[in-house]
């Protein structure tokens, strides 16, 4: 019997003015599952992610978390259970690494509560888990892009959330940091929905993949089911060749459709 999804979007639609951005999009993430959200620019990935965390309300359809419609979950309670890691914040943020991570404790504090020893312990534990405890006193703005993303993930860990939503966490990172960040997400063993542009990263690190095209779900399933030429070519206008690497991971090789047709 399949495990009930922790996070579920059912036939979600969302427009901005007269512009429909999402049309009956559905997505499910089971406990501990890493779901990749892929698709070309403008396909609705970030809008769907913002709907999943309650930042946007759907015009139609619904989003549930642990069986409860998120619109009925209080903002503080939802923030205790769902953490959002956005693209890299402004580098001018003049806070230490430790202070950034401690912000993750805010949903657990009352209006007049001060952070205490337990909050400090959880923040230190989170930084240790992402390998940055020794940089707790460093200024956040002085870190590399990959380190910043790891700090933001540590903030989510300090938040003790059950679910992570990440919007292009590998954007602007070099190859080493891309793999480092996604390997960390993979090793956390908590539910995660990750917006990704790189299909090879989705193939390597995701349990399932949702492919969006023009606001609709074009395909969803395991990477082996979705990352095929039949599914990818009409959306990206590229042909793909699947190659199995020495470590049994799948690598995708891409060619523009016109180039592939000339060689046939």
Domains of the chain, each with CATH number or no CATH: 7-221 (3.40.50.300)
Highest mean pLDDT, choosing among 17-31, 158-172, 246-260: 17-31
CB 214 within 8 A of CB 234: no
Residue 1: band (very low, low, confident or very high) from pLDDT cuts 50, 70, 90: very low
Instruction: Give the pLDDT confidence of 69-107 residue by residue, as tens digits.
Output: 998 998 888 988 999 988 655 555 689 999 999 999 988
Neighbour count for residue 65 (Cβ, 10 Å): 24
155-186 burial, b at 16+ Cβ within 10 Å, e below that, comes to: bbbbbbbbbbbbbbbbeebeeebbbbbbebbb
Per the model's pLDDT, the better-predicted residue between 262 and 111 turns out to be: 111
- Measured at the CA of 60, the angle between CA 226 and CA 191, to 5 degrees, comes to 45
- pLDDT tens-digit profile of 154-198? 998 899 889 999 999 888 788 988 898 899 899 888 999 999 999
The percentage of the chain sitting over the pLDDT mark of 90, rounded to a whole number, equals 60
């Amino acid at each position: 019997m399949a495990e009930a999804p922790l996070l579920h979007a059912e036939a979600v639609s969302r427009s901005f003015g007269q512009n429909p951005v999402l049309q009956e999009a559905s997505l499910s993430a089971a406990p501990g599952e890493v779901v990749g959200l892929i698709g070309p620019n403008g396909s609705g990935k970030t809008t769907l992610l913002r709907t999943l965390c309650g930042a946007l309300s759907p015009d139609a359809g619904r989003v549930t978390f642990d069986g409860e419609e998120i619109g009925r979950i209080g903002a503080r309670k939802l923030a205790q259970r769902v953490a959002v890691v956005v693209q890299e914040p402004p580098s001018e943020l003049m806070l230490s690494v430790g202070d950034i991570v401690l912000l993750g404790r805010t949903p657990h504090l009352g209006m007049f509560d001060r952070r205490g020893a337990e909050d400090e312990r959880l923040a230190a534990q989170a930084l240790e888990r992402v390998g940055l405890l020794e940089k707790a006193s460093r200024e956040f703005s002085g870190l590399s892009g990959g380190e910043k993303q790891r700090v933001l993930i540590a903030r989510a860990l300090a938040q003790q959330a059950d679910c992570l939503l990440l919007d292009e966490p590998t954007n602007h990172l070099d190859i080493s940091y891309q793999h480092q960040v996604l390997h960390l997400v993979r090793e956390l063993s908590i539910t995660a929905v990750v917006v990704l542009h790189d299909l090879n990263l989705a193939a390597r690190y995701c349990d399932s993949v949702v492919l969006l095209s023009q606001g609709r779900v074009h395909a969803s399933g395991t990477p082996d089911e979705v990352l095929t030429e039949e599914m990818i070519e009409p959306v990206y206008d590229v042909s793909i060749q699947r190659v199995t690497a020495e470590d049994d991971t799948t690598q995708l090789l891409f060619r523009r459709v016109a180039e592939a047709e000339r060689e046939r």
